[in-house]
Chain A
């Protein structure tokens, strides 16, 4: 468990915040898709920490900075949203299994719905720094309306195609982020492509149905309530197919949060 200090915790909208936490240099480098369990140090806060996906990571000489994008969805995140700069937080992490980057699949399509933009941005910036020129990246963002399309400045400058969809059509095309997929995948070679997605379960379920006939592999980062973050409480179980096709359970915190889309039993959700 690390003790961190908030450097900023800015409101980006009525419910959306962008927070940065300074941590000791011993904090391990996270990979995109990993998360932390976080809670305020001062009492009166929630009992359990809350899982937050990592948005950005920066290593300095004597410290590291972790950034998060989050939305107030309940008491835990509400209390986090009230923390002023210099407030202390307890952080456990980095946790979980992040996105796998396969060299043999240089055509990458990234889809983010709502707060899914946080890990997808981390991944996009990570890929930007790594890939050779022949590698290709397309990014699709989706949200309810333009006010909820957040963190654009971190994505705009990246090499690669960017497309946006909003439910009300206030930015980009009207519709869901998954509606952008047919255009994005047109003509792509399923053997050289990998889709990465994070967003609400309904979006990911739609994606699973869309992709099933195409043969294009996809990694999804999913969300579930969790207590421990380390695979002990079994609170965040998700039904998956094992190698023999039988249904079993995995822990989102430890086995995930990133899973192959085809492994998840979407009919159980």
Chain B
């Protein structure tokens, strides 16, 4: 593991997401990095811009039955079903460990009802060491809540405004690509007071075992992630970035620094690394180093000069 280089929140890679100051724009996507500790043997957690933990619900959730994952061309399907320890156990058992790091901790919030979103947000706000909330209105693998809230702009607005009402923390709304026009959802979140939007969550997909004539996933459908979805994610981030004023956080199939740079250029202020963590635990480290090298090579002084610099 290379030594930490950039702890400087005023450094070239520093970005601001609302009032949240990050030393660099590289975050780990919710659900792909556990509660941080799982990757500590492989990654210097201090070097990350932010860690977004697995989606948290009011009560612990067992998630879906196995098989839950399946590799597909240049990607993978998952239907975990938001298995998590619950918000109280997170604060008691997971957060104390995370507090030791000089890295923003962002809690991903999930609820089956609006009231649950608000209660989880409220509990997390009261806990020391959570720096922002990411509101999950886009999980495709649960029966209630999740994407059900993310496909209706009025619901997106209601959840966003509600959460803003119970927390002083920056609120990021994580959007689903499984809609006709994602910019409508982004604008609804912005209007309701969101400090940022993150996109995209996984794209609903399916895979079938032709010998058994059965779906590969017990849940039948799952969320597609990985390089396969990157062009779609990039297009959506570009679309949203040109239509909202709040920061846009890009994710979807980012495997390398070059992938991350594409997202910055189309308008993402920060990015999240997801499936790449599974493939190469140190992916985030090489992405941070690659962004630094690119900025040096192209004499780019700060992230502002890079974000949205697309020449069309």
B-binding residues in A (CB < 8 A): 1, 46-49, 75-76, 90, 92, 224-228, 230-239, 247-249, 254, 268
A-binding residues in B (CB < 8 A): 31-34, 38-39, 41-42, 54, 62-63, 65-71, 74-76, 78, 80, 83, 226-227, 275, 277-282
Q: Which of B38, B63, B282 contacts A249 (CB 8 A)?
A: B63
Q: Which of B63, B66, B227, B281 contacts A230 (CB 8 A)?
A: B281
Docked complex Cα distance between A103 and B275 (Å): 42
Which chain A residues lie closer than 8 Å to B31 at the CB level? 233-234
B71–A48 touching, CB < 8 Å: yes
Closest to A254 in B: B38
A228–B277 touching, CB < 8 Å: yes
Which chain B residues lie closer than 8 Å to A237 at the CB level? 63, 66, 68, 80, 83
Which chain A residues lie closer than 8 Å to B38 at the CB level? 228, 230-232, 254
User: A1-B280, A233-B32, A249-B63 given as contacts; is B78 within 8 A of A47 (CB)?
Assistant: no
User: A47-B74, A235-B80 given as contacts; is B65 within 8 A of A225 (CB)?
Assistant: no
B278–A234 touching, CB < 8 Å: no
A92–B80 touching, CB < 8 Å: no
Closest to B283 in A: A1
A47–B71 touching, CB < 8 Å: yes
Docked complex Cα distance between A247 and B39 (Å): 27
A1–B80 touching, CB < 8 Å: no
Closest to B73 in A: A47
Closest to A224 in B: B66
A228–B62 touching, CB < 8 Å: no
B62–A47 touching, CB < 8 Å: no
Closest to B281 in A: A1
Docked complex Cα distance between A237 and B69 (Å): 10
Docked complex Cα distance between A26 and B280 (Å): 19
Going nearest first, the 9 A-B pairs with the smallest beta carbon separation are A235-B69, A232-B34, A228-B278, A227-B278, A232-B38, A231-B38, A234-B80, A234-B83, A235-B68
Which chain B residues lie closer than 8 Å to A235 at the CB level? 68-69, 78, 80
Closest to B217 in A: A225
CB distance from A6 to the nearest CB of B (A): 20
A249–B62 touching, CB < 8 Å: yes
Known pairs A232-B34, A233-B69, A254-B38; list 13 more (Cβ under 8 Å): A47-B227, A75-B71, A227-B69, A228-B38, A228-B277, A231-B34, A232-B33, A232-B38, A232-B278, A234-B34, A234-B68, A234-B80, A234-B83
B67–A224 touching, CB < 8 Å: yes
Docked complex Cα distance between A136 and B46 (Å): 50
Which chain B residues lie closer than 8 Å to A47 at the CB level? 71, 74-76, 226-227, 275, 279
User: A49-B279, A233-B80, A249-B62 given as contacts; is B71 within 8 A of A226 (CB)?
Assistant: no
Which chain B residues lie closer than 8 Å to A227 at the CB level? 69, 76, 78, 275, 278
Main secondary structure of the interface of A (DSSP, over half): loop
Docked complex Cα distance between A92 and B277 (Å): 12
A233–B78 touching, CB < 8 Å: yes
Which chain B residues lie closer than 8 Å to A226 at the CB level? 69
Which chain B residues lie closer than 8 Å to A75 at the CB level? 71
Chosen A-B contacts, 30 in total, with CB atoms closer than 8 Å, are: A1-B42, A47-B74, A47-B75, A47-B76, A47-B279, A48-B278, A75-B71, A76-B71, A90-B280, A224-B66, A225-B68, A225-B70, A227-B69, A228-B38, A228-B278, A230-B39, A230-B42, A231-B38, A232-B34, A232-B38, A232-B277, A232-B278, A233-B69, A233-B80, A234-B80, A235-B78, A236-B66, A237-B83, A249-B83, A268-B65
Closest to A228 in B: B278
Docked complex Cα distance between A92 and B278 (Å): 11
CB distance from B83 to the nearest CB of A (A): 5
Q: Which of B34, B71, B281, B282 contacts A46 (CB 8 A)?
A: B71
Closest to A49 in B: B279
Which chain A residues lie closer than 8 Å to B281 at the CB level? 1, 92, 228, 230
User: A1-B42, A230-B39, A233-B32 given as contacts; is B278 within 8 A of A238 (CB)?
Assistant: no
Which of A75, A225, A268 has the most C-beta atoms of chain B within 10 angstroms of its own C-beta?
Answer: A225
Which chain A residues lie closer than 8 Å to B33 at the CB level? 232
Docked complex Cα distance between A72 and B55 (Å): 35
CB distance from A48 to the nearest CB of B (A): 5
Q: Which of A1, A49, A225, A247 contacts B62 (CB 8 A)?
A: A247
Which chain A residues lie closer than 8 Å to B32 at the CB level? 228, 232-233
Which chain B residues lie closer than 8 Å to A231 at the CB level? 34, 38
CB distance from B224 to the nearest CB of A (A): 12
Docked complex Cα distance between A234 and B66 (Å): 10
Docked complex Cα distance between A90 and B281 (Å): 12
Docked complex Cα distance between A225 and B281 (Å): 18
Closest to B84 in A: A234
Docked complex Cα distance between A56 and B163 (Å): 54
A232–B39 touching, CB < 8 Å: yes
A234–B226 touching, CB < 8 Å: no
Closest to A229 in B: B278
Which chain A residues lie closer than 8 Å to B34 at the CB level? 230-232, 234
CB distance from B256 to the nearest CB of A (A): 12
CB distance from B102 to the nearest CB of A (A): 21
Which chain B residues lie closer than 8 Å to A247 at the CB level? 62
Which chain A residues lie closer than 8 Å to B279 at the CB level? 47-49
Docked complex Cα distance between A69 and B236 (Å): 45
Docked complex Cα distance between A1 and B66 (Å): 27
